[in-house]
Amino acid sequence: MLEEYLNRIIHGDCLDVLHQLPDACIDLVVTSPPYNLKNSTGNGMKDGRGGKWANAALIKGYENYDDCMPVEEYARWQHEVLLELVRVIKDDGAIFYNHKWRVQDGLIQDRRDIVYDVPLRQIIIWKRKGGINFNAGYFLPTYEVIYLIAKKDFKLAPHCNSYGDVWEIMQEQRNDHPAPFPVELIDRIVSSTTAQIVLDPFMGSGTTAVVAAGLGRDFIGIEKSAKYCESANARLEKNKINPEVAKFHQLDLFQLTPPPVKRKKTKQIYDYGTQSLFQG
Ligand SMILES: C[S@@+](CC[C@H](N)C(=O)[O-])C[C@H]1O[C@@H](n2cnc3c(N)ncnc32)[C@H](O)[C@@H]1O
């Protein structure tokens, strides 16, 4: 039954599509929802005319979603999405849910109103580069968070537990979508797991699909905008010839030649006994 969803970007509402999926059928979810940025107590983007930040990529929201819900309604929606995601992952499955903490009315909004009653295991800091701060009351925010929500049997791929929990990765710059993931970030997540089926319910420009396909995994994408679905599909086609993940996995090209065996240097032991052979 899942076959019909595999390796497709489904044009639709995430909750409608998630409701159709059976329990425990997905290995990994990687996603970044709309952040509700246009509902803001500051006036960075507040009134839609730009406020102080006239060139912000999200000034008009997304193609057919304005990113401006009442705060409680937004939190209720996102929490419902998270509960559905927990339902569809397997007992060894995990969700990497990217969000942003921000200051609202002088106090940190840390998304505790969304991420509760789910098995939260770790918070990864994604340190981005630069940014703009119009408020003299706090330092320039430079990170986003990635909640690792994991069911009890979830384990990382071998050796990946040696990565730290602060990842310094530059935001994406060559993508027309207003809020794309950097390929490197998703590559780090997917290749740190052995997941075969990867779901992104807010697929946007298709980054999760492109990375999953590039790493030989299956994907399921959901996206509300027909325009973004179309560009994600076009991007997937291009990736069949020129995979974007190749940049991070160049070694794969050479895997046909086995890597040189590293021999342990043995300490030289002088055998004084044999010396006598040469001593005449
Ligand atoms: C932050 S963006 C995701 C960007 C994506 N990670 C990428 O790399 O391009 C959020 C996406 O969610 C989509 N979206 C908004 N509401 C949605 C809904 N109810 N169901 C599915 N997608 C939705 C928006 O159109 C937008 O493309």
Q: What is the pLDDT of residues 208-240, one digit of tens each?
A: 999 999 999 999 999 999 999 999 999 999 999
| Distance from C-alpha of 38 to C-alpha of 83, rounded to nearest angstrom | 25
Distances (CA, A) of 173 to 101, 129, 182, 205: 22, 11, 8, 13
Pocket test for ligand 1, best of 29, 181, 199, 202 (most atoms within 8 A of CB): 202
Q: What is residue 189's predicted lDDT score, i.e. its pLDDT?
A: 98
All domains in the chain, ordered by first residue:
2-278 (3.40.50.150)
Residue 258 has pLDDT above 50, yes or no: no
Q: What is residue 210's predicted lDDT score, i.e. its pLDDT?
A: 97
Nearest-atom index, ligand 1, CA of 77: 19
Q: What is the pLDDT of residues 116-165, one digit of tens each?
A: 999 999 999 999 987 888 889 999 999 999 999 999 999 999 999 999 99
Q: What is residue 52's predicted lDDT score, i.e. its pLDDT?
A: 54
Mean pLDDT (the chain, rounded):
87
CA 180 to chain centre: 10
C-alpha 224 – ligand 1 centre gap (Å) = 7
C-alpha 141 – ligand 1 centre gap (Å) = 23
- pTM of the entire predicted model: 0.86
Alpha helices in the chain (DSSP H): 14-20, 71-88, 183-191, 207-214, 226-241, 272-275
Pocket of ligand 1 from Cβ distances under 6 Å: 13-14, 32-34, 62, 65, 177, 179-181, 202, 204-205, 207, 222-225, 228
Q: What is residue 49's predicted lDDT score, i.e. its pLDDT?
A: 47
Q: Whose CA is nearest to atom 18 of ligand 1?
A: 13
Residues 6+ apart with CB under 8 A from 140: 130, 131, 132, 133
Residue 228 or residue 43, greater confidence: 228
Q: Which of 25-39, 62-76, 87-101 has the lowest mean pLDDT?
A: 62-76
The answer to whether 88 and 25 are in contact (CB under 8 A) is yes
Q: What is residue 280's predicted lDDT score, i.e. its pLDDT?
A: 33
